Amino acid sequence: MMDGKVVVVTGAGSGIGREFALAFAKAGAAVVVNDLARGAEGQAPLAEAVAAEICAAGGRAVASLDSVAEQPSAAHIVQSALDHFGRIDCVVNNAGIVRDRFFFNMSLEEWKAVLDVHLNGTFNVSRAAAPHFKTQNGGSYIHMTSTSGLIGNPGQSNYAAAKMGIVALSKGIALDMARYQVRSNCIAPWAWTAMTASVPTDTPDARARMEKLKTMEPHKIAPLAVYLGSDAGANVSGQVFGVRANEIYLFSQPRVIRSVHRSEGWTPESIAEHAIPAMRSSFYENAPAPTLTTWDPI
């Protein structure tokens, strides 16, 4: 499905990103494997190991060790695709970190670090690819979001804000670049990775959730990404998907669901007496994501 295509995958040294890189290569794409992470002492950087694995299997790949968090280095990632393979057809914004802490204890550094990698990193790499997509009249963006942003999760306000920001960014890209046959979609993945393993499990519910997460394998996410990056997905844009083991979800997006009006306008008192009671039955429960996916992975 990806013969002749060139794909950039960020955060591709391990976990979900590695599975993306391997799957795109197996589908025929040339892959820029981007990751900052280093292997154990004396071992090659993770990106180089994944690129070598792809090449050993007969595929085409090159490693990139540049950071997504700064525009100049993010531009180098995209330029690597052009220098080695002559074009770029798909960007998978997968790079991420977590700095989990309850909001009332969160530092500015913890806030900025997560937004710089997730949200700014997604912008930086996407923006670097945009002129090339525009010129060639085609391309695909695939961004990783999370139910921590779509629904909510305690102790992750920085991560949630970044991941929900990515959804809005994806929608903006989809709208702005539709005239150039460029599409942009999000995937919310459930999978056991090194990043999810670092999430605190200081309550029985959190420990139970983590045990369930361990059954969800990263490679299950990759087929949807390959589809969205291929020509078969050319008519899919502006959507938010989820993958949980063998399930694929389509998430809702904000739409007006109730309206009330008064011909004379509103006062704080009439809002209390009329507007809020009329709309309260349509309020969403202030509940974390795990409470809304209570069934076992299929």
Query: Annotated catalytic sites, by residue?
Result: 159
Residue pair 46/13 in contact by the 8 Å Cβ criterion:
yes
Residue with tokens 């990263």: 218
Give the CA-trace dihedral at 30, 32, 38, 42, to 10 degrees.
50
Of how many residues is the chain composed?
298
Angle at 81 between CA 80 and CA 84, to 5 degrees: 80
Task: Tell me which amino acid residue 225 is.
Answer: A
Residue pair 117/93 in contact by the 8 Å Cβ criterion:
no
Query: For the purposes of burial, counting CB atoms within 10 Å of the CB of 99, is it exposed (0-12), middle (13-18) or buried (19 or more)?
Result: middle
In whole angstroms, how large is the CA radius of gyration of the chain? 21
SS3 of 100, please?
coil
